[in-house]
Amino acid sequence: MKIALVGLGKMGANMARRLRRGGIEVVGFNRSRDIIDQLVTEEGMLPADSLEDAVRQLPSPRIVWLMLPSGAPTETTIQELIPVLERGDIIVEGGNSNYHDTQRRGEILAKQGIGYVDSGTSGGVWGLKEGYCLMVGGEKEHVDAVAPLLKTLAPAPDRGWAHVGPVGAGHFTKMIHNGIEYGMMQAYAEGFALLRGKEEFSLDMAQITELWRHGSVVRSWLLDLTADFMQKDQDLESIEPYVADSGEGRWTVTESVDQGVAAPVLSLALQMRFASQDRYGYGNRVLAMMRNAFGGHFVETRDE
C-alpha cells in the first residue's frame, strides 16, 4: 500500500516512521525540506517536492493523509489538492480540526467525488512506540479503504482505532477526548498542589505518584508520565506556571453551551489555563483596589 503524507511535524514524522516500519510505502511532503531528507535516509520514505509531485507518485485511487495545523494550513492544502485529485481518491485529515469545518469540507469534497475521512489522533510523541488512538469519521467504504493504515498506526490491528460515525464524528470525538484530558490534568494538578502545600508532612511527591500507579483507582497514563518527571524533579522551580490551551478545549466548552449540557469540570479546567496565561493580572489588581476602596484593606505594590 502506498500513500502520501503531508505535514511532517513531530506527530506527522513519527506517523511516517510507524507506517514505514509497518510496510507501508510513504511519499512525504513538508514545507521545510530537512525532515523530508531525514526520513528518506532513516526510513526509506519517498520524497516529494510539492503536493502535485506527491499525488503524481501515487497509484489510483490515491490516498493523501494530512497532518497539518487546524485552520488555514489545512483549509488551503485541501483547496490545493482538489484540482489534482480525481473521483474515488481519498483525503484523510488527521489534525485537530473543528468538526464543523470537517463537516463542511466533507460536503465540498463529496461533490467532487473525493472521499474524506477525519481521524482524531491521540498519542503525542509516544505514538511511534506505543501506537496511536484513532477516532475515525467518514463513509464506510472510505474508512475500509484506509483501514490498513489505521491498523498499522494503532497499538494493534484489532484495538486502538474505531470507525465512530459519519464525516465529522472523528474530530468531534477527539474534541471531547481533549476536553476530558483538560479536566483530568487539572484534578491531578490541584491534588498535587494540596499535597505539596502540607509542609508539616514533608511528603515525597515522587514516592506518592509512584505509589498511586499501582492498584489505585486514580492510576492512568497521565499519572505514569507525572511519576516519571517527579522522579527527576519534584520542585519544578525552573518551570514557568504557564499552561497553554489548544483550540479543542475551547471548542468542547462551546459545545457544552450549545447543547445546554453542564460541564463544570471541563469549563473550569479551561478557565484555569486562561488564569495561568495572565501575565499582567489586571483583574486581580482591580480586585485588590476594590477591597481597599470599601474596606481600607492593605494593597501590596510591586515595590513592596
Out of 42, 151, 174, 232, pick the active-site residue.
Answer: 174
Out of 181, 200, 232, 304, pick the active-site residue.
Answer: 181
Q: How many CA atoms lie within 13 A of 76 on its CB side?
A: 8
Asked if 139 is an active-site residue, the reply is no
Report d(CA 116, CA 93) in Å as an integer: 8
Q: H or E stretch including 283?
A: helix 282-295
> At residue 146, what is the residue type?
V
Contact 51, 81 (CB under 8 A): yes
**What would the DSSP string read from start to end of 180-234?**
HHHHHHHHHHHHHHHHHH-GGGT--HHHHHHHHTTT-TT--HHHHHHHHHHHH-S
Dmax over CA atoms of the chain, in Å, equals: 77
> Cβ contacts of residue 257 below 8 Å, gap of 6+?
none
Closest of 75, 120, 66 to residue 93, by C-alpha: 66
**What would the DSSP string read from start to end of 50-66?**
SHHHHHHTSPSSPEEEE
Report d(CA 22, CA 16) in Å as an integer: 10
Asked if 25 is an active-site residue, the reply is no
Cα dihedral 47/53/54/58 (nearest 10): -110
Residues labelled as active-site residues: 174, 181
